[in-house]
Structure 1
């Protein structure tokens, strides 16, 4: 007899069995990172979700660092984190991808670099890359769920914080550094980077540089899916085996330094990023991106009085990218401004231990040329926040946080008739959260969260009015939009006992006035005139509107050691992880777009001395819950194998690795990708890398 299992039923069953869950070897869901080796346990504090550095946090979080960060480096931040519990990717070819957390992307995911927001244009359009190369990242922290109490309404989906140590926060003894290189067969990708740090008295200096170049991506079959080819005109070109216009290159680097004293430091850095890559959705279109960033960081510790510790982060960014079609600049996007954050840890007030702070920013965005989708807009914001912990008893810790933000948006329509009448808007948004951690015994803990979040509409949700080639739409904003409001809950169960660990969580978020792109059924041309569906240049009109929406789902991860012997330090570990998200428009009952289906991943690794070998399999179910006029996505199964070996040579530490991805050459199309029916993921690929630390 054949039984059909609904994905939601399977997700709930698995979520209720936490002993089967896991993440990548160096990830975990509390404040510690488990370095999966026979050498023991490495503790790494998740500062993004846990500035108080308590043993457990109420927010589900994952850290990627060390060996696994090196082995899992990808061309984009979104692809590198894809597959972690609750994390998928927007997927716009091999050079562009932002993380999606629990089905939410764009302005609902806060991207941070050393604790300060990244100033770019990646949330505006799916074809805009994040100006950051993964080779420069030392650690990534992913916080799932409502992190609004610390980072505002833009973090309703979660926070991704990357660290690069370009401003040293610890004194450096002597001269140290690293160099890293890798080659990948999927697109002939060649990349390399080096970092050098040195100490001189109270000073520490940092320098790094990177470069990367790749060709067009090799794919298993046709670039366009079978469903899409059936809708295409009979004479439409159907590329196969390679994804056209998917090549690119990037380079950049930084110089930084810090001055240290007994109880603190202060430092500066200057960094650059330059890239040129193709838009896989638009033949002949290249995107040339440049960013210059100046950052300041300081921390003062062990202060006597009501304040014990103060941290300051400030960054000024000058960002520009040009969309070049057939050698001519079509549109130039610019985003220039600064963001700062001051965070203070106060002395204990009775049982309360907490932090409070101020965050502020001022940015000016402009888009000039053929795709002037939005007017030049200056956005100013300032926010006050606090987070308090109360250790009620040995097993129970409570937390409460809140934040209020004031944001003003000032558009300048200029001479473009599409933006005449755009008016200033200002908003005051408040958010609050309460949470609890209860240790049932030394191994088991329960976490619970509840939050209310308000998110201010962005400039493109308010003022957009123009063709958007990346999504093939004519987007229209609504300057009368009100704040997005959401109520969220999260319940988690954590187990940890040596090499055995597991975490499972279920969550629910209900939105009032969820700001969504809704197709109106009408069509416009590039000039904004209404046309018929079959007219040349017809684009479906989409308007930003507020609807009632809900998201719910489950995540789980866990690891177990099957066998261990002292002979050659051998061990065998197994792990399992998975997630499921359901998202719908409560007004119409329709599914929201680009939601990842139920995914399961299982892995087994074998250690002998320092050699680690690993085999893993991932299965994603088909995504058939899609909005009207959207195409469903087929499921896929991917097999990967990895081997890594650290060794010493000439008194230096080396790490060599080789990984084979998508060994069966499966046709993989992420349901979360806006280009899933135009641009599949890479076919069978082998990647080899080498890293030296000195």
Structure 2
């Protein structure tokens, strides 16, 4: 096995500072613990020093646990982890929601570097990332802006694929996986191959994923939507769903048993090569991703997406003198997706640019360890077509950050850091009068953070993190001005918007003893200027480069929404635990309990923020015996009736899932994993409160998924 996959001590410090996802030994006890780790963690995105104890709550998915959670989108893979939900614009597009925050408040990374796309602009835009090519995913819950910028004000999702080999490899190793099933009859195949001679290492991988229309338990449209009371206005309709007289028309249009236009296909691959030394590496990788999926909001619209990415990485340690280690990562991304109306191209979105970061870690000074780093990037976004509601915008960013960690009382750790970030947004209105008043804006944002982990007696510990974070508004929060067809709204930015500012506190009580661990914590974020998308009292319709608005709705008009800065509070509680109930020889029984509750509201009016997940609680029993693992779980989500005006509540649900896996060897170092998964066994109608399309696109019905993985 290669060093870069198993995190041997020398390699661990060389890997990306965001996260060295260390593959765990595939033993039944490890599988019983799900490899979803909150305490302790060897190396994680939240801490570049690789400490076991972390002030910030982090979840890590790797190995068998990641494989058993396989899904079409990144949001669906992660939903259900403590504090994590999904935007779920049908099965083809979904971003993670962390503690009720989504969009540009959640930073999505590949190997620690941002990959440009358009997924934050609209809920129907997919994240160009497939877990079939990922080996580990780490989720930081809470502000991580100190290391990764203002867009991490709500959290970070970091996917690691090791397409750039980062450690010596002498020989050949690889893996392959095939999978079939699920509510969309999904077919997945993927493979990777790594080879090296001790000095050079190469990596190859590829995947292919196809799915049919999603099968659902009943009607596609909710009872509220069929009665004309749903919050979602399909783009092809120009009427108000609050009018009762339209109820019969909508009921007739609701599909039953299958969600129309929800099929998808995706494929991609990568090639990488590295020169490796005992104390470092220099590598490059090229990756490509393609997908085509239907929009559940428009039965005649498909989205055709492509992303090409070139990544460079370098690291060297043991340099001597004041600098102990240097790391650098750079990625250039060429992204494009087209919205197809039948055979015609409606709107084309492009985003091209690069992002890089350099870190210098100084030699320890007594019990003080630290680093200084810089991050820089440039993106060129453009939207072409009649439905483009934002102008072409160039964004340039540069940042400096510093992080120092002091170990005292032998094991307690205090970390302090700061970041200053400059960004400039330059719109180009072209010949479109809609954007003629869009002026360039520049922002200087600052972040400060202090974290503490303090071990107590008997396996107990305390952890806390205090952060002040600023986020510059995005191009669409500043310059949006037009009909957003996919969401059925008319959006207007605020060209005078100020920085979003938040002060956040996170604290947790933790316990660790062998395989038993648990963490119970709470968090509170006070936003001085939360940039919210609020509904006005007007209705608007776009006519080319101008629009008509009024207080009375006419055919073809959509409700107007305006970006505005408001004071807001976001707070909640999280539980994550694993209890080893029984252990004898190769047999073990574990009880897993986890849950979360999030509250988010405007401070002045007390009105809830939109699309906040309800209270959730879940439990699972995992039995392991030698190579066999069996799991049964129940997940319950409460009703969500804390919604803003003109929005709709969601009903609670209880979901039963089971899974079984069996690991075996066939000699010659070849290991196999066969697994079977049953989802939503009670055939519940599931509608996520965090999804904009909850009233027209539920989750899938009862299903079974089976797969086989082989590694050599």
User: Which residue, 662, 665, 678 being the options, matches 2:696?
Assistant: 678
Q: CA deviation at 1:262?
A: 3.1
Q: Judge conservation of contact 2:288–2:306 (CA < 8 Å) in 1.
A: yes
**Matching residue of 1:249:** 265
Change in Cα spacing, 1:420 to 1:209, as seen in structure 2 (3 Å) is same
Aligned mates of 1:270, 1:556 — CA distance in 2: 40
Q: Across the two proteins, how many residue pairs are aligned to each other?
A: 664
CA distance in 2, matches of 1:485, 1:296: 33
1:547 equivalent in alignment to 2:566: yes
Whether 1:234 and 2:251 are equivalent positions in the alignment is no
Superposed CA deviations along residues 598-632 of structure 1, whole A, max 9, x for unmatched, are 00010001112210000000000000000001010
For 1:87-486, what aligned pairs fall within 5 Å after superposition?
Answer: 87-231=84-228, 232-236=246-250, 237-486=253-502
Deviates more, 1:602-611 or 1:532-541: 532-541
Unaligned segments of structure 1, at least 5 residues: 1-28
- CA contact 2:21–2:160 (8 Å) conserved in 1: no
Q: Tell me the distance in 1 between the aligned counterparts of 2:411 and 2:202.
A: 44
Residue 94 to residue 190, structure 1, CA distance change in 2 (3 Å): same
Q: 1:493 to 1:35 in 2, by over 3 A?
A: farther
CA distance in 1 between partners of 2:584 and 2:113 (Å): 45
SS in 2 for 1:53: coil
Q: 3-state SS of the aligned residue for 2:434?
A: helix
Q: Is the 8 A contact 2:28 2:628 kept in 1?
A: no
Other-structure match for 1:664:
682
Aligned mates of 2:59, 2:254 — CA distance in 1: 40
CA distance in 2, matches of 1:448, 1:209: 41
Q: Which residue of 2 aligns with 1:597?
A: 614
1:39 offset after TM fit, Å?
6.0
1:182-221 CA-to-partner distances (Å, cap 9, x unmatched) read: 1014111101111011003411000011111111000000
Offset of residue 386 of structure 1: 1.2
Whole-angstrom distance in 2 between the partners of 1:33 and 1:583: 36
Contact between 1:111 and 1:118, CA under 8 Å: does it hold in 2?
yes
Contact 1:52–1:355 (CA<8 Å) still a contact in 2? no
CA contact (8 A) 1:270 1:292 kept: yes
Q: Distance in 2 between matches of 1:35 and 1:85?
A: 24
Secondary structure at 1:49's aligned position in 2? coil
Instruction: Report the alpha carbon displacement of residue 116 of structure 1 after superposing the two structures with TM.
Output: 0.1
Residue 615 (structure 1) aligns with: 632
| Contact 1:31-1:54 at 8 Å conserved across structures | no
| Distance of aligned partners of 1:654 and 1:268 in 2 relative to their CA distance in 1, 3 Å threshold | same
The answer to whether the 8 Å contact 2:44/2:58 transfers is no
| Alignment partner of 1:634 is 2:648 | no
Match of residue 7 from structure 1: none
Q: Quote the offset at 1:32 in angstroms.
A: 8.9
- State the Cα distance separating 1:301 from its structure 2 match: 1.0
**Structure 1 partner of 2:641:** 624
User: How far, CA to CA, are the matches of 2:301 and 2:639 in structure 1?
Assistant: 32
The alpha-carbon deviation at position 484 of structure 1 amounts to 0.5
Mapped to 1, the partners of 2:423 and 2:673 lie a distance apart of 47
- CA deviation after TM superposition for structure 1 residue 252, in Å: 0.9
Relative to structure 1, the CA distance from residue 606 to residue 452 in structure 2 (aligned partners, 3 Å threshold; closer, same or farther) is: same
State the 1:649 CA deviation. 2.0
Instruction: Please give the per-residue CA displacement for 1:500-533, whole angstroms capped at 9, x wherever unaligned.
Output: 1001110000001100101111001132211565
Separation in structure 1 between the aligned mates of residue 626 and residue 24 of structure 2, nearest angstrom: 18
**Aligned twin of 1:3:** none
- How far the C-alpha of 1:34 sits from its partner, in A, is 7.5
Question: 1:587 and 1:205 mapped to 2: Cα distance?
Answer: 57
Unaligned runs of 5+ in 2: 1-18, 229-245
Q: TM-score, normalised by structure 2?
A: 0.91
* Closer, same or farther: CA 195–36 of 1 in aligned 2, 3 Å: closer
2: distance between equivalents of 1:368 and 1:531? Answer: 27
CA contact (8 A) 2:85 2:98 kept: yes
Distance 2:226 2:80 in 1: 28
Distance in 1 separating the partners of 2:27 and 2:617: 24
